[in-house]
Each structure stands twice: as structure tokens, then as C-alpha cells.
Structure 1
Amino acid sequence: MAKRKICQAMAVVLALGMCTTGLTGCGNEKRADGKTEIEVVSYKPEAVKAFEKIEKQFNETHDDIHLTISSPNEAMTILKTRFIREDYPDIIAIGGDINYSNFLDADLFEDISDLDAVDNVKEAYLDMDKELEFIPKDGTYALPYAANAAGVLYNKDMFAENGWKVPTTWSEFTALCDEIKESGTLPLYLGFKDTWTCLAPWNALAVGLCDSDTCNQVNMGNTTFEEAYSPVADKIRTLLDYAEDNPYAYSYNDACTAFARGESAMYTIGSYAIPQIKSVNPDMNIGSFTFPANDNEADNVLNSGIDLQLSVMKACKNKEAAYEVLEYLYSDETIQTYLDDQGGIACKEGDFAIPDTLEDMQEYIKDNRMSDYQDHHYPSEMSVDAMIQTYLLDTGDNAKEKFLKKFDSDWERYNRDLIREVQDYQKEQEDAK
């Protein structure tokens, strides 16, 4: 069943003749030195130096297991091709997104509920993984490792010089934008030429204005996007009043550069943009606050998603060794090694250093007031980023209505089989009562 599902989902990969160069054999065999080989494939090539350091430290301290961590370019393509060939690594390190959902639905992952490290994961991130399940499953199938956060970046020195305060409600946010605009400074930079950047404020607003399981509720027939996303659509359009003229003419790189040069007081993007911004202005004093989407601060939610998590493949032949690797990777020291290189938020409970740039979000992280990116549930075929850009470009009176109706119709088009599967499951549960 697993092979059939994964082949159906990934036939396009083969049809396009994706390159299989660099594939390695299954890492479950004993090495010549008698050690058990455990292979981890990570989708994050930017973290290769951190993984090389972690791999070296593990191998220097273990006599019976040899760990190999690879972080190839186009890792997801390589993984999908390997899955079709039934050439599985032991562990994969991927994000908490639609790829994880698809692999889990194809029954490729081992239940790791009995792994001691699972008990130390922050509840919010375990909940995010459960919401990524198309059909509810008993067990735990990933070990959340590191997370990111998205809200509004701001120029801390500019705020201090002008006496501007970080807003905690939507009314405070729009009033601040008005005040900044009146001072002659541009409140926001958007950079919507690259359509994916439209998803940054969309996600950060949506987590505070919608239920975290909105997509599943739509699949069950309990709501529609036209109903659920209406306030999100209104508020993302409001941002245009405070942004650069024609934001669709400026790319992500343009926006990062403009913000780095002090051309705006704020930038609606995630913390992942900070390295790019600091490449232009290394000394910039950057802060980041949770998008205050509501007029009651208690209703606001931090947009935080799992940037990296670890799943053991069902095909792994030595789960005891794989578990030993996971326990090592989940030690405080190893997690901090990764965070020191990549930044972000530890998904493990504990006293981990948090970047100064995220200190305004610390209480949300501490209190588990976090919710996943809505787009982690969107099929790529929908091109929701382009849909949002088209909506924002549309100045017609019925722009929002057209956008949300298209959202619902496209969702049904691209998720027809999933919707049927979810509703059949729902009926089975009701019949069993």
C-alpha cells in the first residue's frame, strides 16, 4: 500500500526525468569495521556545517554506530526518487509541512511514541504535527527539532529614537503605522514581486484570526474559506495603505535591502530573513514582534512552524541504533550546537538561548501561544501565494469575494480525494458511536 500511494503521488517526478545522481545505498548494513551504519538525509543544505560538526562529535563518542548525515541540494527530489526505488535512509530530517503529511499518509514513518525524547517536546509543536495528519493516527511520527517564527521585523534603533512602542493589538498597530507615516517614514516594506512573500503576512495574520485546524475543518465540511479567511483578507489589504508604492515591483531581495538601509520602520517577514538583511547592514539592530491581528492581545498567536524535525523510516532495519542517534541529537548540547549555527527556536522544553531578535516573542514561546503556518497545509498546485497577489492587485469592489470563492473551488479541485477520505473517516467515526 505504501509503495502504491507514494508512486501515485510522485509519478510526475519520474515523468520529468528527475536526476538521481548522488543517490546512496540503504544505510542499514554493517560496515567493514563492524559498526552499524545509520544514515540521515536532511533537506537543509544551509545547515551542512552544523550537521558535519554534530556527525563528527557523534562518531568520536560512539564505538558501535557510525552516523552519516547528508544535506544535498534538491533533497526533497532526491528523497522522493529514493522512496520510489525503495532505497530508504534510516532517518529523514524535514520540515513540518505538506511533504511530511504526504509521506505520513503513505505510511512511510515509524511510530516513535516509545522514544524517551518525545516526552521533552513542547506541546505546541506536537500539536502542529498532529494537525498535519490528513487522517488522525495514533502515535508520534516525528521528533520536532527546531522552529522558526514569523511576525513583523522592526528597526529597534528607529523605534527607540522616535519613542515608538511595539504594538500589541490591531488598533495599536494601525495607529502606529499612521504615526510613522505622518513622521515622513515608510511604515512597512512588503516586496510582493516574489509571490511567496505574500504568504508571510498572510500566515502571521491567519494564526490569530483563524482556528489552527481551519483546513481540516473545511475538509470535514464544517466551514468554508470564504467564511474563515474573510478577516484575514481584509487585514492583509489594509497593509497596502502603509507600504511602498507598487510593492509588486520589488522583490524579496529588494525589500531586505530597503529595510536594511532604513527605508522603512518595519518589514512583514519571518525571522528567516534576518541573515539576508544583515548581509546588507551587519550592525542593524533588528527586533521581531508577534503580528497583533486582534484587538484583544490575549487572542494573538505567534506564527511559529517546525523548521526541522526527525522521522524514522519504517524500513529502518536497526531501530535501536536509530533511537540512540535521535537521543544524541536531542541532547541539550547538540540542539544548542545546531541553534548556534542556524538560529531559531528549540522545539524541546528547556533553557535554550533565544536570539535577541526574537526577545519580543519570548512570552508567546514560553506559554506555547503558537500556531503553525496555514500554508503548510496548502497543496503546492494551488499556488496560493499567486492567488493572494492577484487578489491584492484587484481593485474591484468584489475582489475579496472572487478571491475567497476561488480559494474554496480550487481547494476542492486539488484536494478532492483527500476531502472524500476525511469525510469517509468522519462518517465511520460517527457510525461507530
Structure 2
Amino acid sequence: MDNTRSRRVLLAAAGVAALAIPLAACSTGGGGESADGSVEITFLVPTAGTNIESAEAMVAAFEKENDDITVKVESQPAGTEGDNLMKTKLATGEMADVFWYNSGSLFQALNPDQNLAPLTDESWVGDMQDTMKAVVETDNGVYGAPFGATQAGAVVYNKKIYADLGLEVPTSWDEFAANNDKIKAAGITPVIQTYGDTWTSQLFVLGDFGNVLAQDEDWGTEYTAGERKYVDEPALAGFANQQEGFESGWWNEDFASALYDDGARMVATGEGAHYPILTGIVSTFQQNFPDQIDDIGVFPLPAQKAEDTKLTVWLPNAVYVPKTTEGAQLEAAKKFVAFINSPAGCDVQNTAMVPSGPYAISTCELGDDVPGLLKDMQVYFDEGNTNPALEFLSPIKGPNLENITVEVGSGIRPAEDGAALYDEDVKKQAQQLGLDGW
């Protein structure tokens, strides 16, 4: 994911800026089954980033192997406008035969049990990672399949600095702090912060959520019900860690004005050792620092205890089939969904899309030539040391988190006050959503 997509994820907004691609005509499904047995289905895609190009590449590969099925790509805006259109089309029976949309809390908002065709019995369901399955299912079954790769909120670091100073990847907060002190003593910036792009300040909190969930597996559900707060442990740790970083002098001198691109440059060139950020930054490294790409790795934001350290993962979007898709179109739609996560479909994803992390289904594998940063992430997936980001478990995210974390990370506001202020911020949003317990 690029920087714009990263901002979209962190702010839990419903999409990046839409491309100037006109909205395709609404469809009530494919063109039906022809006399010769051929079938046409429709595939609805949000016009964000390179989605259209990726979808068209997938369709071309699918049609090459299934010459009796034609897939017509339709598009609509991403963002809040797209969210509303999705709900309207499902409610009026005008949804395309297959559509590409968010997983997690936004998926749940579509009322999947009422509006989507169950895919529980499809052969690929057993190949999905448990964390992915959890964000495309309800108690009544599985409704979606991943399309795209994951990304993580983690610490991108310079491996050359680690090798030169004889450091090991930390698994606890104390080990991370000890590494930072040694890096600072060597005259190198230990932790890069880029508050000129305020959204980047949130990683200490959002990237710590995997660790919170490791200590309290019900935190996301109870948070949505108003029973968990950031002002209490274990969630307070994200704010407290950010305060400690500022007070310990780990930041770069220009942290208040530095930008995302500055952070990428600093960690790639060794001006700084660590940059807490989304791993979608790998595309920036590939484009701007190809000669340094092998010097860059990644590890989770460490928890206070090593056994609680988990990689916080942003899961990919998914493809779904509405209940209005029936008969020959339903069978063709299921075949298309299965193809997306087949070896041939995964080849398309590896070439038409830039992976920002491992895939969320075992039938898809990263190519051998991907940057080492992604291979580092794969280890945590293989070992089961991942947890989903909070936005996949709860619809609640206050709009002022980035401003609050800038204040905490700048020494303007202590961690406890920042957490309490954020609890009030999310309270307003939860009430607007009409959630019980708030």
C-alpha cells in the first residue's frame, strides 16, 4: 500500500481518494446464461489505487482458463460514498454478482447474514488464516475470501545498524529500550517520528493492539460494548511507550516537522534505526531506495512481556457474493472467487499488486524475490504470532487520535491524560453509531 492507502487504514476512513474513473452503470447481475451455456457475471470494484487494473488483470487470467464465463468489471467510488452505495445496492437487489469490499467491522455493517451468499462449504475456506476467517464470517458461516495481501503496524528497522552494533531483534519492551540506548550512544537516532504527517504518530497505539489482544482476547468486543478503556492497562501501554520514547530522547531532532518520506529515507539510509509505521512503506523503499532494500527489516512493537508480543496485522479486503446472485451466475461467481485464491490467481496478485505483507490464505505465497522485510513478516504468520488490528474487530475509532498521539509524543500531554482524552473522543463516535453501553 502506498502512503495514501496507509492513511486510509490508520484513520479507519472508508477509502482513499477516488480516482477519476466514472461510475459504471448499476447492474442487477450478470447477463444470464446463453443458449450455448456461456455465462456473464459482474464484478464490482472500488476505484481506489490500482484496484481497477488489478481486477482487470485477474479477470483476464480467469477468462483464459474459463472461456465459458465472461466477467464484466464495474466500478464505483471508494470512501464513505462507496460504503453507502454498497448498502443501497444490497438493500435494493442491484448488487453485482461479485463485489470487492472491506473485511472486519465494515463487512459486519453490511448485515451479511441477510444480504450475502454463504461460502462456508467452498474448498478454499480451510486454507484461510484464522485471523482472516474471523473478519469475513458470522456465527452463521463464512461469506468472503481475501483479495490482496496483509500489512502490519510494526517497527521497520535498519539491519546494518543492528549488525554493526551487535544488536538482536527485541521481543520485550525492556529489550527494545536497551537497544535504543545503545543506538543513541552510537550517535544514531534510535526511533524516527514524523509528526509533520500527523497520521504516522498513531503507530505506538494502533500497532500495539496485537499485544493488547494477547493479554485480553475479549478486548475488542468489550471495547465495542463500552466495557474496555484506553486509560486502563493493557491498552494504556501504547500511550505510555510513546511518552517514554520522547522522555528518553529517542526521537530525531526534527520529529515535529519531519514527513513520512523523511522517515522512509532515514531508516533506509541509516540516519535512524527504527521507524514505527505500516509495512506498506515497502513500496516506497522499492521505488526510492532499491539499493538499500536488503538493509531493511521489521519486527512487532514489543509488549512489556515477550510472550505477549504479537504482530498487529491489517487484513486485506475480500470478495463477496450477494444473495441475489443465483443459478448459473452463482456457480460462476463461486468459481471466480475460488480462482482469485488459486495458484494462478495468486500469480496475478503477486504481479499486478505490490504485496505489503504475507497473504491471509495458504494457497497464496509471496514470490522468492520479495524484499526481506516481507519475509521477516512471514515468520510471525507461520508461527501464529499475529493478531488483527482493532478496526477489524470494532467500528469505533475517534477522529482525534492522531492529534492526541502527537501531543503525547511531543511531551505536551502525559500518556494517562492522552488516553483519557481519547476515551472521550471515541465515546462521541460510539454514541453516533448508536452502540449500546455508551
- State the match for 2:430 in structure 1: 415
Q: Is the 8 A contact 1:23 1:78 kept in 2?
A: no
Offset of residue 152 of structure 1: 1.1
- State the match for 1:366 in structure 2: 382
Give distance in 1, aligned partners of 2:289 and 2:298.
20
SS across alignment from 1:321: helix
Offset of residue 141 of structure 1: 2.1
What's the CA shift string for 1:252-304, capped at 9, x where partnerless?
Answer: 12222333333212211122001113322111124333325234322211111
Higher helix proportion (structure 1 or 2): 1
Q: Is the 8 A contact 1:193 1:247 kept in 2?
A: yes
Give distance in 2, aligned partners of 1:378 and 1:264.
35
Stretch deviating more after TM superposition (148-157 or 106-115): 106-115
Q: Is the 8 A contact 1:204 1:373 kept in 2?
A: yes
**Cα 1:391–1:367 shift into 2, 3 Å:** same
Offset of residue 230 of structure 1: 1.5
How many pairs were matched up?
400
Offset of residue 169 of structure 1: 1.8
Task: Map 1:221-370 to 2 at 5 A.
Answer: 221-228=226-233, 229-240=235-246, 241-284=249-292, 285-317=294-326, 318-340=329-351, 341-343=353-355, 344-350=357-363, 352-353=365-366, 355=370, 356-370=372-386
Show structure 2 runs of 5+ residues with no match.
Answer: 1-13, 15-19
- State the match for 1:16 in structure 2: none
- State the match for 1:101 in structure 2: 108
Offset of residue 175 of structure 1: 0.7
- State the match for 2:4 in structure 1: none
Offset of residue 350 of structure 1: 4.6
2:117 partner letter: E
Give distance in 2, aligned partners of 1:120 and 1:271.
24
**Cα 1:158–1:219 shift into 2, 3 Å:** closer
Root-mean-square deviation (CA), in Å?
A: 3.1
**Cα 1:386–1:300 shift into 2, 3 Å:** same
Matched, 1:203 2:215: no
TM-score by length of 1: 0.81
**Identity of matched residues, %:** 18
What's the CA shift string for 1:29-86, capped at 9, x where partnerless?
Answer: 2387863222223345325444333211111221331123456664663463364354
Question: Quick one: which of 57, 63, 66 aligns to 1:62?
Answer: 66
Question: Quick one: which of 111, 114, 134 aligns to 1:127?
Answer: 134
Offset of residue 95 of structure 1: 3.4
Give distance in 2, aligned partners of 1:200 and 1:99.
21
Stretch deviating more after TM superposition (237-246 or 274-283): 237-246
**Cα 1:71–1:332 shift into 2, 3 Å:** farther
Matched, 1:25 2:26: yes
What's the CA shift string for 1:370-407, capped at 9, x where partnerless?
Answer: 111124435466343333224434535xx333322232
Q: Is the 8 A contact 1:301 1:371 kept in 2?
A: yes
Give distance in 1, aligned partners of 2:125 and 2:379.
23
Stretch deviating more after TM superposition (26-35 or 168-177): 26-35
- State the match for 2:418 in structure 1: 403
Give distance in 1, aligned partners of 2:395 and 2:417.
19
1:227 partner letter: D
2:258 partner letter: Y
**Cα 1:324–1:278 shift into 2, 3 Å:** closer
1:342 partner letter: V
Give distance in 1, aligned partners of 2:102 and 2:284.
21
**Cα 1:309–1:267 shift into 2, 3 Å:** same
